[in-house]
Structure 1
Amino acid sequence: MTDFATELAAERRIAARLLLKYPLVTRTSHPEEFPLVRRHADDLVAQFRQLLGYRLVVEAGFARLHKAGLDRDAGHHLTRTSGSPFTPRTYAYLALALSALTTAPEQLLFSELLTHIRAAAAEAGIDLGDVNRAVEKRALVAALKQLTAWGILSEDEGSMESYVGDERAEALLTIDREIARRMISGPVGQATSAPDLIARAADPGPGGARHSVRRRLVETPVVYVDDLTDDERDWLRRNQRREQRIFEEALGLDTEIRAEGVALFDHAEELTDLDFPAAGTIGWLALLLLERLVTSLRPAEPTVSVPVPDDLIGELLDQLVERHGKAFAKELLDHPDQLRHAVLDRLRAMRLAAQGPSGWVLLAAAARYAPEGHR
């Protein structure tokens, strides 16, 4: 490969990695990298379609990668600026606001947007209840702030956040309707219910096992063969070495293949939206708990999952809090049930543990975090 061809391949890889991490890239959000996306638009459209069955739209001011779903429990929730996850109510306001903004004028007042959102709710048969309650205001503002982060809304005068404390607060907003119209990826018009929408969004289409397995590899920390269908498992077994080369060339990712499953690794640590180990009370406590669970439960032979006695989780968490409590955030320690849920949810999201019908199980990748001397 000539130096020029090598440079072009490196540019495409940078642009593809950017789009995987940020499915919406705008001229404003990534001023240095966006020109690369535009320069290689045709190749990137073809690459994402062939590699993952994803649809890429590149316009003059933005690029939107329409990813597909995986299943009910595979996604990552949106969070508020405080770090707390979106509630179902916040997601409802987000959807209602998007539906209103696609046909709104380029500029409008915050009060006018509220009127449009309430009209959209009435048309959809959604009861918003007392919209002046503080909890409703916070949910609405969190949804609109997310739209601001995406570049769909911008505040020219005033502040939407003021609405939480003053229902008469006003702001002048500018809307990017083109981005708003491109945000929805799932086949909303075809779905007959929420579960049906999730199923349709996850359908790999003509790509079949090839796209469904690749999507899992790219979008989740580790893929266990026990979680795959027979067709997916057979496809992966036949093609795993070829896939190793493809992911390295297209995305700069290394592949680790084990009997229990396959994982992709990004040594640049750029493509994850959830670090582990991580700073903060939840991240640190999750790591400490995992180390102790692996030490206590590690089997003599490799296995995909090991049952975790429920009382062991509580016992180890109590010990860790007693020993390291001064270093943890007090507001979390004051709510032990929420703390336990957050820690286990972090392990679940990283595919290090899972909750089954009979309780929690430790998954194979957890063995990586055994303390020195226990590996």
Structure 2
Amino acid sequence: MTQSGMADLDSQDIEQQQHRYQREEFRSAVRALLMNPLMSPGHEDFSAVRRQADVLREWFSRETGWALQIEREGARLYKRPADLIDSTRGLPDYDRRRYVLLSLACAVLERADAQITLRVLGERLLAFATDPVLALGNFSFTLGTQHERRDLVTVCRTLLELGVLQRVAGDEEAFINAGSDQADALYDVQRRALAGMLAAARGPSTWQPEEAPVTLEERLHALVNEYVADSDEARRTALRHHLARRLLDNPVVYTVSLEPEAQAYFVNQRGVLAARLCEATGLTAEQRAEGLALVDESGTLTDLAMPAEGTDAHVTLLVAEYLAADERERTTQRNNLPFKRTQDIADFLREARDRYGRFWRKSAREAGSERELAAIAIERLDKLQLVERRADSVCPLPALARFALGEADVRTTSPRRNTDVPDPDAFTLT
């Protein structure tokens, strides 16, 4: 082979490597934005996001209809959930009260200087909290109790995680415990991140009081409703965006959960749709008669991994296997009572504690803990859309079958140094 021929091969090899690197970087950037739609410049994947900016904007616009803004100060993917009333979504340990506080804190920061202290933030928030509209909703807030100061600190820590605030000095924990003038914290306010907090198609301040939606569900829909042109192509695009959002945001999409028009499109196009999304995200499609799931084998592209380490995760896996086995028996015997009582699950965990309790945290080994463990397991399974909750019972959903395991084989592999800390290597599920 001539030197020119060898040079051509080397050039092709370099070009292939560059193409492969670009594809892998693009995939990493997509995954990072899905997990961190409000991304600060300090994020480890932000440089990749900036390099892939044009391709990322085009992909998200085409596949999901989500707008993507990328600047030196950060990136914002304006994700809008397909299901606005899904009660399993949201920030951990947040109730409606804390969401109100988060909104009020953002309103205070919008009017604040470049820096603000935790105490000043709390005092200005108190003034906003006296709004008569909030009073009509039975909302009140003071800084007089440790519980209320903890709520404020939880909101501040959320804003720190999102990059809206950056801590300069101080200690939030001391503020919770002391509540004195000496306990405080100082923050820088990041204006760009603050401006990207609300992922709405229309700002709430644009409504006249007499035109504003009344109920919570009406308000949520009004914030994110997007214009769809009156044409077949526009409606098909809207359906495709809706399904792509659900597949990327939710653990599984069940065919029966879709509206008739979306259901027909989904049945015909789900293979093509899944292939495009999996190519860009590295997810694996699992198609069944009941629906479609995009599974992340690495377990990183999720807010709640299963299986995972720890007592709660192990208990959840045991309950999943218990419910899946019960569902198989029900199907075999053609029993039409799919619901399982919460008490039955608690009774199962009480028996499981005798076998596995020595691997669980101390509080989970105590008598009577089975009710709390059952509630934790059911909540996790509900968030993963593996069960449906109704009153004091649960119903297994089809995707739960993928977690049906065989009998657990307990193998001690290392000595326990601290019985209060679960050892993830102390047992193997086979």
- State the TM-score, normalized to the length of structure 2: 0.78
Paired residue secondary structure (1:165): helix
Q: Distance in 2 between matches of 1:88 and 1:286?
A: 26
1:40-55 residue pairs with structure 2 within 5 A?
Answer: 40-55=52-67
Q: 1:260 to 1:188 in 2, by over 3 A?
A: same
1:131 matched to which residue of 2?
143
The percent identity for this pair of structures is 27
Q: Distance in 2 between matches of 1:35 and 1:197?
A: 36
Say if 2:299 is the partner of 1:285.
no
Q: Distance in 1 between matches of 2:325 and 2:29?
A: 41
2:102 matched to which residue of 1?
94
Aligned length: 368
Q: 1:153 to 1:17 in 2, by over 3 A?
A: same
1:333-352 residue pairs with structure 2 within 5 A?
Answer: 333=366, 335-352=369-386
**Aligned 8 A contact 1:53 1:204 in 2:** no
Q: Distance in 1 between matches of 2:118 and 2:346?
A: 47
1:1-375 residue pairs with structure 2 within 5 A?
Answer: 3=16, 4-30=18-44, 33-69=45-81, 70-73=83-86, 75-79=88-92, 85-123=93-131, 125-126=133-134, 127-167=139-179, 168=181, 169-186=183-200, 187-189=202-204, 192=213, 193-200=215-222, 203=225, 206=228, 207-298=237-328, 299-300=331-332, 306-332=338-364, 333=366, 335-356=369-390, 359-372=393-406
Q: Distance in 2 between matches of 1:165 and 1:357?
A: 38
Given residue 181 of structure 1, which amino acid in structure 2 is its aligned partner? A
- Consecutive unaligned residues of structure 2, counting only runs of 5 or more, are 1-11, 229-236, 408-430
Q: Distance in 2 between matches of 1:229 and 1:204?
A: 18
State the 4+ residue runs in structure 1 displaced beyond 4 angstroms. Answer: 201-205, 332-336
- State the TM-score, normalized to the length of structure 1: 0.88
Moved more, 47-56 or 246-255: 246-255
**Aligned 8 A contact 2:349 2:370 in 1:** no
Q: 1:129 to 1:15 in 2, by over 3 A?
A: closer
- 1:290 is displaced (CA, Å) by 1.6
Larger radius of gyration: 2
Q: 1:94 to 1:365 in 2, by over 3 A?
A: same
2:412 matched to which residue of 1?
none
Moved more, 194-203 or 205-214: 194-203
Q: Distance in 1 between matches of 2:394 and 2:360?
A: 24
**Aligned 8 A contact 1:121 1:128 in 2:** yes
Paired residue secondary structure (2:317): helix
Moved more, 158-167 or 61-70: 158-167
Q: 1:213 to 1:19 in 2, by over 3 A?
A: same
- 1:137-163, Cα deviation, whole Å (9 max, x unpaired): 111111101111112112222223321
> For the aligned residues, what is the CA RMSD?
2.8
1:82 matched to which residue of 2?
none
Q: Distance in 1 between matches of 2:391 and 2:122?
A: 43
**Aligned 8 A contact 1:96 1:120 in 2:** yes
- 1:110 is displaced (CA, Å) by 2.6
Given residue 73 of structure 1, which amino acid in structure 2 is its aligned partner? D
Q: Distance in 2 between matches of 1:135 and 1:335?
A: 25
Q: Distance in 2 between matches of 1:322 and 1:204?
A: 54
**Aligned 8 A contact 1:68 1:201 in 2:** no
Paired residue secondary structure (1:284): helix
- 1:75 is displaced (CA, Å) by 4.6
Q: Distance in 1 between matches of 2:355 and 2:406?
A: 20
Q: Distance in 2 between matches of 1:266 and 1:115?
A: 44
- 1:123 is displaced (CA, Å) by 3.8
Q: Distance in 2 between matches of 1:65 and 1:146?
A: 18
- 1:115 is displaced (CA, Å) by 2.3
Given residue 110 of structure 1, which amino acid in structure 2 is its aligned partner? L
Q: Distance in 2 between matches of 1:202 and 1:356?
A: 29
Q: Distance in 1 between matches of 2:186 and 2:35?
A: 31
Paired residue secondary structure (1:196): helix
- Consecutive unaligned residues of structure 1, counting only runs of 5 or more, are 80-84
**Aligned 8 A contact 2:73 2:192 in 1:** no
Moved more, 261-270 or 329-338: 329-338
Q: Distance in 1 between matches of 2:26 and 2:377?
A: 37
Moved more, 316-325 or 360-369: 316-325
**Aligned 8 A contact 1:222 1:261 in 2:** yes
Higher relative contact order (Cα pairs below 8 Å, separated by 6+ residues): 1
Given residue 91 of structure 2, which amino acid in structure 1 is its aligned partner? L
- 1:107-156, Cα deviation, whole Å (9 max, x unpaired): 12333222221222234643434421111011111110111111211222
